[in-house]
Amino acid sequence: MRKTYKLYIGGKFPRSESGRSYEVVDSRGRFLANAAQGSRKDARDAVVAARGAFGGWAGATAYNRGQVLYRVAEVMEGRRDQFVAEVRASEGVTERRAETIVSEAIDRWVWYAGWTDKLAQILGGLNPVAGPYFDISAPEPTGVVAVLAPQGSSLLGLVSVLAPVVCSGNTAVVLTSERRPLPAVTLSEALATSDVPGGVINLITGRTAEVAPWLASHRDVNAIDLTGAADAEGVSWGDLELAAAENLKRVLRPAGEGSDAVEPDWSRTPDLARVTAFLETKTVWHPKGR
């Protein structure tokens, strides 16, 4: 029997509101599975779930967030063989290369998890001022972040755009790779069996050109990562950026020059740029005691 995978919204696995699905094929065009074809309504439901989870996730201690994310990496390690098989089928790489990609994805998740309780020290600080005050700057999460996952790198690229969003306390609505969604579906199953609260991470499979404009224009989305606009059929990242400007969203543009978006090299050592892209800096003044 051909399996139809579902969406992951609010910690649950609902069918698409539209009732639609589409075929997912491997790198040679052979059938792999059916995936739910998410709709505008599904995107709205995911944003509602992400907004509902934001207060608890952002309000948790940084140490607690780190421990929760470490647990996700452990669950991913336990499903290594499944990830390897799906990456190999989706991306058309050798088994050895797929094993390397999965290892790098798990390591990447751990790397960002390790930053949760260090961001305040690195990105915040005590500012010198002329007066009897303490002036303190501290990083805070932006809110609900929409993420267009890379179209080509189905797991390593996905982890590389998702982990930096949630490690700082944001919640995420992720539109997965349109043609290669199965590693993202397996990741959602890992999230459901870990300690990540429902709604912190929501994953929608479907047509990028159909769902992305609704996320870009949604008034309750605070930021959007347009990385997955590269190589997405029928998608202009400039139009998405214009839609995002309606409520002054933070926008992370895709790599490339001008309108020619390209997917980055995900094997390169990461930095904090993708974390800081979705952080606000809060400055507090406090009088000094005598």
User: pLDDT above 90 covers what percent of the chain?
Assistant: 88
pLDDT for 93: 96
pLDDT for 158: 98
| pTM for the whole structure | 0.94
Cβ contact 238:229 at 8 Å: no
| Cα 276 → chain centroid | 14
Q: How many domains would you assign to the chain?
A: 1
CA dihedral 77, 82, 87, 90 (to 10 degrees): -160
pLDDT for 132: 86
Cα 38 from Cα 143, distance rounded (Å): 22
pLDDT for 171: 98
> pLDDT for 168-203, tens place per residue?
999 999 999 999 999 999 999 999 999 999 999 999
Task: Provide the pLDDT confidence category of residue 290 given band limits of 50, 70 and 90.
Answer: low
List Cβ neighbours of 140 (8 Å cut-off, separation of 6 or more).
Answer: 58, 169, 279, 280, 281, 282
DSSP state letters, 5-42:
E--BBTTB-PPPTT--EEEEE-TTS-EEEEEE---HHH
User: pLDDT above 70 covers what percent of the chain?
Assistant: 98
Task: Provide the pLDDT confidence category of residue 258 given band limits of 50, 70 and 90.
Answer: low
Cα 212 from Cα 269, distance rounded (Å): 28
213-222 mean pLDDT? 97
pLDDT for 237: 92
pLDDT for 1: 54
> pLDDT for 110-168, tens place per residue?
999 999 999 999 999 888 888 888 889 999 999 999 999 999 999 999 999 999 999 99
Residue 256 pLDDT more than 90? no
CA 50 vs CA 14, 120, 193, 232, 254: distances in Å? 15, 23, 18, 24, 23
pLDDT for 260: 77
CA 264 vs CA 145, 202, 230: distances in Å? 20, 23, 9
Strand residues in the chain grouped as ranges (E): 4-5, 21-25, 31-36, 125-127, 133-141, 144-148, 171-175, 201-204, 223-225, 250-252, 255-257, 260-262, 279-287
pLDDT for 52: 98
How many other C-beta atoms are found inside a 10 Å radius of the C-beta of residue 64? Answer: 14
Range of the domain at 179: 4-287
pLDDT for 2: 66
CA 286 vs CA 129, 131, 153: distances in Å? 11, 11, 47
Strand residues in 26-107 grouped as ranges (E): 31-36
pLDDT for 208: 96
CATH number at residue 180: 3.40.605.10
Tell me the range of 24-33, 92-101, 127-136 where mean pLDDT is highest. Answer: 92-101
